[in-house]
């Protein structure tokens, strides 16, 4: 049997485009002599549709798309993901379903059993868990069809009470197919391959795993669909961060092997948190060359899809001569094209001359348009207007933030005038500690580096320069500074970033409390100071723009903490 995996990039709610893309792939698979073509989870409507699922019209559109697709299945089987209404009154009104279409008919439907409700996932909000499991016969094969999380129910301490594959094995399948919408983070591709292989070895069956690709606002899907034979050998691995199709000719000799026990102690839960436990190794892990390369590709895809799916093509950002804006500008130029990214240099009386020259040289190297708009006159006008209120009070954070908000106003004015989207340049270390100005440098329509720690930003700059200097060396080597007062450095307000990031990582990604981090050998005063900064600045992050997610725990929809909580604050 020949099966095509169709790894595609969908647009949430764009039924006509999604359906046309699916039908095109069916035609191509038929021309290649395939017996079946497999698509990803909820491909018909796009993933995650979130509260669109509460609109009857949205579900009607899904059904109309299924009807249109099945007309192309007279001589080829098709597996697509779409919601299905629940005919039973008890429980939720929808199932997350895999539809098996053949001969112009709906031959079978498999329901997702394991509904993730953690991090960016909230599926139990909308879907009823599957409660019946049946293999699907097709051309002499017995197919165990599952959806994404269904294959993660492997461990001594699973998240779910029922394992769909355990139930399906009672009917003696000889092939596993899993359709997924599994988001990217910088080591999750290895986790996915590990869990697919673990299923193969446990059940002694080959598995075809089809993942989607593309970015949906903040969530990036990286593809990487795979085929493992029953021996646990990886025979097909598809592209990452790109659409791709893979034709798999199932080898009869490999279609079934003896199942055996697999060491899976807490496997699925360990895969949901990052793996580095030694604080002294955190920075090496975060800045590992492979991780940085993947982060770069994910950010490119995140920017490109956000703009194309929103109908925009031009971006603007403030270029300060610092490392964050430099990396953001370079990535944006790669994603959108240098002519579509406008940099605005806004020096104040506290800006150093090399900051302006560094930012200017960066735009010259990249070839993008840029403007220089000094802000001193605007700032002085504000100060004159505020003088009756401020009186003789000394210079403070109020004047610092006023400069930042002046820059934010200028950027938004230009964005409104010319139809740009403002790219925010704040990094994860700053967002974690509240080192930013609301409605100033925290303004923007999309955050590029909001899930990238400061030490990773430096590593990204070196990666960008891997084939020659694009980001001027002085930008990378000079001490980071907001330049909002004379001689200011980030280290005046924050710990050094190599110390800060390893504490943030343990707390945010690994959910370690203060005593656990201190027990790792980290200074107690540093830990308590950092965690207090994180928890007292939740109100700022709550007002922030969407952040492209590249880690296992990003700020935004996947991290939900109360603003007024007292814990560690």
To the query of whether residue 243 is one of the catalytic residues in this protein, the response is: no
| Distance between CA atoms of residues 461 and 470, nearest Å | 9
Domains of the chain: 2-270 (3.60.110.10), 287-490 (3.40.50.620)
Can you say whether the dihedral through the CA atoms of 512, 442, 216, 449 is positive or negative? negative
Which pLDDT score, from 0 to 100, does residue 70 have?
Answer: 98
444 assigned ligand-binding residue: no
pLDDT, mean over the chain: 94
**Secondary structure of 492-527 as H, E, C letters:** HCCCCHHHHHHHHHHHHCCCCCHHHHHHCCCCHHHH
Among positive and negative, which fits the CA dihedral 269, 275, 276, 277? positive
Burial 413-450 (b: 16+ CB within 10 A, else e): ebbeeeebbbbbbbbbbbbbbbbbbbebbbbbbbbbbb
The response to whether 540 counts as a known ligand-binding position is yes
Is 391 one of the annotated binding-site residues? no
Q: Could you tell me if 276 and 282 are in contact, meaning their C-beta atoms sit under 8 angstroms apart? A: yes
Determine whether 148 is an active site residue.
Answer: yes
Asked whether residue 321 is marked as a ligand-binding residue, the answer is: yes
pLDDT at residue 266, as a whole number? 46
Query: If the chain, 569 residues long, is cut into consecutive pieces of 10 residues, what is the mean pLDDT of each piece?
Result: 98 98 98 98 98 98 98 98 97 98 98 96 97 97 97 83 96 97 90 95 97 98 97 96 97 63 49 70 95 98 98 97 97 98 94 89 98 96 96 94 97 98 98 96 97 98 98 93 79 92 96 96 96 96 97 95 91
Name the strands in the sheet holding 446-447, side by side, starting at the edge strand that comes first in the sequence: 370-372, 341-345, 315-318, 421-424, 446-447
Question: Which of 62, 148, 210, 333 is an active site residue?
Answer: 148
Residue 197 and residue 235 in contact, taking contact as beta carbons nearer than 8 Å: no
User: pTM for this one?
Assistant: 0.94
Tens digit of pLDDT for each residue in 26-46?
A: 999 999 999 999 999 999 999
Q: Which pLDDT score is estimated for 355?
A: 87
Catalytic residue among 43, 45, 112, 509: 112
483 a catalytic residue: no
Catalytic-labelled residue, pool 41, 128, 149, 538:
41
């Amino acid at each position: 049997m020949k099966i095509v995996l169709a790894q595609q990039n969908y647009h949430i709610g764009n039924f006509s485009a999604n359906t046309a893309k699916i039908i095109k792939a069916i035609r191509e698979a038929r021309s290649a002599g395939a017996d079946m073509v497999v698509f990803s989870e909820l491909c018909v409507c796009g993933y995650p549709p979130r509260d669109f699922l509460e609109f009857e019209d949205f579900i009607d559109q899904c059904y109309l798309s299924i009807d249109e697709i099945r007309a192309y299945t007279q001589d080829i089987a098709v597996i697509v993901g779409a919601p299905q209404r629940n005919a039973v009154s008890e429980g939720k009104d929808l199932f997350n379903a895999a539809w098996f279409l053949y001969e112009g008919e709906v031959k079978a439907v498999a329901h997702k059993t394991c509904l993730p409700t953690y991090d960016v996932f909230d599926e139990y909000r909308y879907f009823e868990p599957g409660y019946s499991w049946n293999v699907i016969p097709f051309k002499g094969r017995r197919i165990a069809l599952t959806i994404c999380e269904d294959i993660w129910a492997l461990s001594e301490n699973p998240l779910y009470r029922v394992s769909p594959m355990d139930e399906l094995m009672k009917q003696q399948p000889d092939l596993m197919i899993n359709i997924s919408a599994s988001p990217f983070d910088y080591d999750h591709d290895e986790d996915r391959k590990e869990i697919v292989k673990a299923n193969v070895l446990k059940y002694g069956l080959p598995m075809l795993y089809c993942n989607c690709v593309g970015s949906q606002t903040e969530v990036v899907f990286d593809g990487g669909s795979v085929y493992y034979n029953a021996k646990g050998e990886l025979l097909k691995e598809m592209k990452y961060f790109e659409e791709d199709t893979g034709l798999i000719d199932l080898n009869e000799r490999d279609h079934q092997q003896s199942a055996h026990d697999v060491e899976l102690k807490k496997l699925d839960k360990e895969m949901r948190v990052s793996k580095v436990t030694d604080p002294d190794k955190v920075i090496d892990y975060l800045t590992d060359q492979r991780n940085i390369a993947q982060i770069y590709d994910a950010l490119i895809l995140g920017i490109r899809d956000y703009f194309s799916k929103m109908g925009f093509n031009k971006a603007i950002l403030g270029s300060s001569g610092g490392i964050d804006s430099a990396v953001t500008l370079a990535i944006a130029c790669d994603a959108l094209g240098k002519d579509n990214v406008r940099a605005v240099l806004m020096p104040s009386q506290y800006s150093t001359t090399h900051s302006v020259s560094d930012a200017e040289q960066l735009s010259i190297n990249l070839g993008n348009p840029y403007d220089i708009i000094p802000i001193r006159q605007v700032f002085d006008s504000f100060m004159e207007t505020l003088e009756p209120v401020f009186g003789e009070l000394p210079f403070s954070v109020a004047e610092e933030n006023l400069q930042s908000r002046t820059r934010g106003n200028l950027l938004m004015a230009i964005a409104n005038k010319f139809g740009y989207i403002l790219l925010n340049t704040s990094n994860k270390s700053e967002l974690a500690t509240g080192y930013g100005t609301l409605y100033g440098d925290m303004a923007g329509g999309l955050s590029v580096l909001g899930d990238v720690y400061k030490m990773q930003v430096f590593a990204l700059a070196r990666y960008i320069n891997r084939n020659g200097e694009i980001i001027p060396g002085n930008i990378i080597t000079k001490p980071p500074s907001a330049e909002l007062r004379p001689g200011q450095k980030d280290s005046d307000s924050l710990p050094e970033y190599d110390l800060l990031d390893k504490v943030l990582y343990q707390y945010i990604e690994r959910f370690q409390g203060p005593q656990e981090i201190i027990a790792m050998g980290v200074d107690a005063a540093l830990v308590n100071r950092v965690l207090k900064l994180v928890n007292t600045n939740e109100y700022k992050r709550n007002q922030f723009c969407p952040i492209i997610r590249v880690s296992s725990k990003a700020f935004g929809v996947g991290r939900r903490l109360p603003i007024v909580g007292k814990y560690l604050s």
